[in-house]
Amino acid sequence: MSNNILELFKLDGKTAIVTGANRGLGQSIALALAGAGADVAAVSLHSPDDTVAQIRALGRRAVAISADLGDRAAIPAVFAEIKKHFPAPGILVNNAGIIRRADFLDFTAKDWDDVLGVNLDAAFFLSQLFVKDVLSRAAKGKIIHIASMLSFQGGIRVPSYTASKSALAGLTRLMANELAAKGINTNAIAPGYMATDNTAALRADAARSQAILERIPAGRWGDPSDLNGAAVFLASAASDYMNGHILAVDGGWLAR
């Protein structure tokens, strides 16, 4: 291991898969990993061409893959396409996620299934393919799930989102238990209230936004870039002894 601590955070020679990489948290994380030296397979429902262009401007290789990760049957083809461009992916960031809001009694089966399909099922099945591939090459790997404050709390009017993010926290721990000894680190980042499309409705509600801000010790909504340091850390050799941890990047929300 290098005596230069900064060397541990470098991702030179690594390939990262980032889902939901066309905007918001996923785009920011993809650019951060590229900035640390990684090549990136950017996967999203809507074309991540802008993300890929910015990564290439950093001097790294990148490929855009458009796919509906809510369609479980499509996931093997997505992974196969990634492998055509990058034969040895070593980092997987399961960021793709959607949210639906309605009162518990009014919540529909479709809104339940759609959210669980993208937020949980896709992370599980893509992780399976990734791990099998890493182990087949006798390599090491890093998996980062994007969890949530609702991995710890109940929230209101988002039953399928809360269920998916709570399950993702449990899955992070299970995968760590089974995979750590095989050289694959599984951890999660739990963002606080971030200024993204998923929180647009909350930020547009003046009273709700103010109530949220009053609870955040940092006194502001998070920016996607606030996750960059945590993502690079968990993707790098600097976190080699971290397994099954859910790292909150929340401006102090959980401290209240």
> For residue 44, how many C-alpha atoms fall within 13 Å in the half-sphere facing its CB?
24
Q: pTM of the prediction?
A: 0.96
Q: How would CATH label the architecture of 5-249?
A: 3-Layer(aba) Sandwich (3.40)
Of 187, 142, 191, nearest to 168 by C-alpha is: 187
* Alpha-carbon span 121 to 115, nearest angstrom: 9
Q: What order do you get walking across the sheet with 62-66 strand by strand?
A: 62-66, 39-44, 15-19, 91-94, 141-146, 184-191, 246-249
Rounded to an integer, what distance in angstroms lies between the CA atom of residue 224 and that of residue 244? 23
Pairing of strands 184-191, 246-249: parallel
Domain boundaries, the chain: 5-249
Active-site annotation holder among 79, 130, 161, 233: 161
Residue 164 near residue 115, CB atoms below 8 Å: yes
39-44 and 141-146: which strand pairing?
unpaired
Task: Single out the residue of 184, 93, 86 nearest to residue 135, CA to CA.
Answer: 184
pLDDT in tens, the chain (256 residues): 557 999 999 999 999 999 999 999 999 999 999 999 999 999 999 999 999 999 999 999 999 999 999 999 999 999 999 999 999 999 999 999 999 999 999 999 999 999 999 999 999 999 999 999 999 999 999 999 999 999 999 999 999 999 999 999 999 999 999 999 999 999 999 999 999 988 888 899 999 999 999 999 999 999 999 999 999 999 999 999 999 999 999 999 999 9
Token output for 84: 């055509």
Query: Is residue 161 annotated as a catalytic residue, yes or no?
Result: yes
Q: Which residues pair with 142 in a beta bridge?
A: 91, 185
Dihedral pair phi/psi, residue 136, rounded to 5°: -65, -25
